[in-house]
Chain A
């Protein structure tokens, strides 16, 4: 049997378009790939032809490697591939092995959840699985031309794999064969990645993380666009208990799949809320509370050299999320407030939350129980001068300073 190794092809999209930043973006992505595979001994990463290639991942870690690589911001897709030397017999063997494996997967239905290039959504297994081979020969030293090689390989697969047929128009298995100078890559799967930009190339942001459905999705979208996110949670102990906080920790664990460097900051918020309850008109409670959050977040952003504040706010979802309200809230922030979900419908947010895996955790009970805090008739279209009047009795600098001093960087891994 010929020597056939395993490799991963990692495609990235937009980075290639980014002109002068390109090399910076590429080296960022390369660092993140290496970091994602840091515990997989023997793996090596290199760049060629506008892609990254990873080789040497131990076979037993293959699924985990795909899982991790396909979550890296900036990655458009990942293909697990077989790598053969540029000899006709080796390439044939690789194709036979690939088609056998793919056909086996189809029969067992194990390809669900992955995009199989050219595969149909539903496969009738009683019919013979079909395949097609596409050869790209970029190593022109190779003796056969692409069409010649195509024919040779197709014939070899048909001879060797039982119960298989050719379909060049709509195959179940669309096998790609790329003959490169370093070797030949054979693959048939493309696992989609998040796309976007490599983590950190857009700078740092502070995410207001509540534990609800929206804010984790907003964080994910920011991470996807290259923002290195740190999360800030406002905790109202003893109004809510440790489980409310633990829930946020769980969400941060999931977000760490996309940003392994994410930190969680917990701000003690009860004192500010109590002051608002005591000193502000009921209708303005939520608006004033959001403004206080912005002030605290701005101070954290300054300390952490962040460039913006991200929230899960969405236009008109609740009364406090009118444009008037958002404008008044943003007025208290020293940094741009970015709301990735601003024009999302709830269903779109829920769908994305399910895809990134935060939905179930967000739906756990122990929500921040603000039943007491939310007034029966909140102001929906606050004006800035009204709000300034409403918060005039608060010792804003004192309350903010005390809250900021109480912020704790909370461990995510060991809890």
Chain B
């Protein structure tokens, strides 16, 4: 019998297989802050702790930090710094894009168009609005998760206030044709609905040009690109009428009151600067790793089903597979035991696991939706880590084989 001292490592004790290496393959959930991000934040916390609204020297220094960060964010999406409003993260940006639009438009704009594979921060918001009397059109996706721009256009009506489409699907990595949707919407002329893009899973890494693409509002988050949690931003096109979500002291041009989260903003700025330097190069490397990972998974388990596009129009850091017959959560824990951290699209509640609604929206079976695993890489992922992941997956599935449901 073993006395257990303290709680130990998160995967220590029973779970430990004597492995020290940790392979973090859950970067679409959150990323590890980059050293330059940590340093930028430390400096603000320890030295430049002033309130940007203060008139003295400390305040001026802080307000300069916020302005520089705003520039760094803007430069990644082709916006002007005055069009960036910092928020508490992607969820707040998404909520605000929708509520702010509806509040600033008249009573006749009561229709919202979005897709069936949006993030819960969009889904839950439009569901709430639907219950409150708004009309919502959910445009379906094809088997790879793509929204058809023509279908989006056809859903638009006279009373459509907003079209909201995500840039990168967070579970399967599909890159939605936002540029094309923006172009089609622009062709509708001045009475066109607003176009919002939830870019949280693509921001910083993928090419985005809000001006050329005809985007009015775009949501961003820092912690998906090695920045800190609790900070994000909304791009609000200049000239767009937008009501605040949070009222108060008039910070952020009166659009988002509350003393600025300066350490977070500094961290987000540092992360953006980092990506601005080597974005294309990192993506190229990730595309190679993604291919290797997909090949490795297929070799480890030929029955595995890839969700999302194979290679074109897909975020090169997201790989999503189903392993029919297995339970996603068990694979996750079996990988965890071997030091590899991933996520499932489904959550096990009580005796019944809930299938991922995204996988179901692709027209896949419940069995596939229950056995899904998302591997998500970052700029720090190495080829060796991909190999370790594949090896761990092989061992995990072997371990779980007796538990496979098809044996029943």
> Within residues 4 to 30 of chain B, which ones have a CB less than 8 A from any CB in chain A?
4-7, 10-11, 13-15
- A240 near B403 with CB under 8 A, answer no
Report how far A408 CA is from B1 CA in the complex, Å: 6
- B329 near A408 with CB under 8 A, answer no
> Within residues 353 to 408 of chain B, which ones have a CB less than 8 A from any CB in chain A?
353, 396, 399-400, 402-403, 405, 407-408
- B348 near A274 with CB under 8 A, answer no
- A239 near B333 with CB under 8 A, answer yes
- A242 near B10 with CB under 8 A, answer yes
- Could you say which of B6, B348, B353, B396 contacts A411, with CB atoms under 8 Å apart? B6
- B1 near A303 with CB under 8 A, answer yes
- A369 near B353 with CB under 8 A, answer yes
User: Counting CB contacts under 8 A, is A366 at the interface?
Assistant: yes
Which of A27-35, A156-164, A370-378, A381-389 forms part of the interface with chain B?
Answer: A370-378
Report how far A8 CA is from B400 CA in the complex, Å: 57
A223 to chain B, nearest CB (A): 22
| B403: A residues at CB distance < 8 A | 239, 274, 277, 372-373
- A238 near B1 with CB under 8 A, answer no
| A392: B residues at CB distance < 8 A | none
- B351 near A370 with CB under 8 A, answer yes
User: Counting CB contacts under 8 A, is A241 at the interface?
Assistant: yes
User: Counting CB contacts under 8 A, is B330 at the interface?
Assistant: yes
- A371 near B333 with CB under 8 A, answer no
- Could you say which of B14, B335, B349 contacts A237, with CB atoms under 8 Å apart? B14
Report how far A405 CA is from B2 CA in the complex, Å: 8
| A266: B residues at CB distance < 8 A | 14
- Could you say which of A278, A375, A414 contacts B7, with CB atoms under 8 Å apart? A414
User: Counting CB contacts under 8 A, is A135 at the interface?
Assistant: no
Per-position binary interface string of chain A over residues 386-415, scored 1 when its CB falls under 8 Å from any chain B CB and 0 otherwise: 000000000000000000111111110011
Per-position binary interface string of chain A over residues 345-370, scored 1 when its CB falls under 8 Å from any chain B CB and 0 otherwise: 00000000000000000010111011
| A265: B residues at CB distance < 8 A | 1
Q: Which residues of B contact A (CB under 8 A)?
A: 1-7, 10-11, 13-15, 327, 329-330, 332-337, 347-353, 396, 399-400, 402-403, 405, 407-408
- Could you say which of A282, A369, A371, A411 contacts B4, with CB atoms under 8 Å apart? A411
Report, as a range, how many residues of chain A touch the other chain: 35 or more
Report how far A363 CA is from B351 CA in the complex, Å: 11
User: Counting CB contacts under 8 A, is A258 at the interface?
Assistant: no
| B351: A residues at CB distance < 8 A | 367, 369-371
Question: Knowing A409-B2, A414-B7 touch, does A277 contact B402 (C-beta < 8 A)?
Answer: yes
User: Counting CB contacts under 8 A, is A268 at the interface?
Assistant: yes
Report how far A266 CA is from B7 CA in the complex, Å: 13
A366 to chain B, nearest CB (A): 7
- Could you say which of B1, B15, B336, B353 contacts A407, with CB atoms under 8 Å apart? B1
- Could you say which of B348, B396, B407 contacts A369, with CB atoms under 8 Å apart? B348
User: Counting CB contacts under 8 A, is A235 at the interface?
Assistant: yes
Complex A-B: 27 CB contacts under 8 Å: A235-B14, A237-B337, A238-B332, A238-B335, A238-B336, A239-B330, A240-B329, A240-B348, A241-B329, A265-B1, A266-B14, A277-B403, A363-B350, A365-B347, A367-B351, A369-B330, A371-B327, A371-B353, A372-B405, A376-B408, A407-B1, A408-B2, A408-B3, A408-B13, A409-B2, A409-B3, A411-B7
- A366 near B348 with CB under 8 A, answer yes
Determine the residue in chain A with the shortest Cβ distance to B13: A408
| B336: A residues at CB distance < 8 A | 238, 241
- Could you say which of A237, A277, A303 contacts B15, with CB atoms under 8 Å apart? A237
Report how far A19 CA is from B13 CA in the complex, Å: 48
| B332: A residues at CB distance < 8 A | 238, 241
Nearest 5 pairs between A and B by C-beta? A238-B333, A365-B349, A238-B334, A277-B402, A408-B2
- B327 near A372 with CB under 8 A, answer yes
- B353 near A414 with CB under 8 A, answer no
B313 to chain A, nearest CB (A): 34
Determine the residue in chain B with the shortest Cβ distance to A249: B7
| B327: A residues at CB distance < 8 A | 239, 369, 371-372
| A235: B residues at CB distance < 8 A | 14
| B347: A residues at CB distance < 8 A | 365
Report how far A282 CA is from B408 CA in the complex, Å: 8
| A239: B residues at CB distance < 8 A | 327, 330, 333, 400, 403
- Could you say which of A274, A369, A409 contacts B402, with CB atoms under 8 Å apart? A274
- Could you say which of B4, B14, B348 contacts A365, with CB atoms under 8 Å apart? B348
Report how far A406 CA is from B13 CA in the complex, Å: 10
A221 to chain B, nearest CB (A): 24
- A371 near B352 with CB under 8 A, answer yes
| B350: A residues at CB distance < 8 A | 363, 365, 367
Report how far A367 CA is from B1 CA in the complex, Å: 25
| A405: B residues at CB distance < 8 A | 1
| A240: B residues at CB distance < 8 A | 329-330, 333, 348
| A414: B residues at CB distance < 8 A | 6-7
Determine the residue in chain A with the shortest Cβ distance to B2: A408
| A237: B residues at CB distance < 8 A | 14-15, 333, 337
Contacts A367-B348, A371-B327, A414-B7 known; 5 new A-B pairs at CB < 8 A:
A238-B400, A242-B11, A367-B351, A375-B408, A411-B4
> Within residues 112 to 147 of chain A, which ones have a CB less than 8 A from any CB in chain B?
none
B50 to chain A, nearest CB (A): 39
- A415 near B333 with CB under 8 A, answer no
Report how far A239 CA is from B330 CA in the complex, Å: 4
A393 to chain B, nearest CB (A): 14
Report how far A242 CA is from B12 CA in the complex, Å: 10
Determine the residue in chain A with the shortest Cβ distance to B333: A238
| A410: B residues at CB distance < 8 A | 4
B369 to chain A, nearest CB (A): 14
Report how far A266 CA is from B14 CA in the complex, Å: 9
Question: Knowing A369-B348, A372-B403, A414-B6 touch, does A238 contact B337 (C-beta < 8 A)?
Answer: yes
| A376: B residues at CB distance < 8 A | 408
Determine the residue in chain B with the shortest Cβ distance to A300: B1
Question: Knowing A238-B336, A239-B330, A277-B402 touch, does A408 contact B4 (C-beta < 8 A)?
Answer: yes
A19 to chain B, nearest CB (A): 38
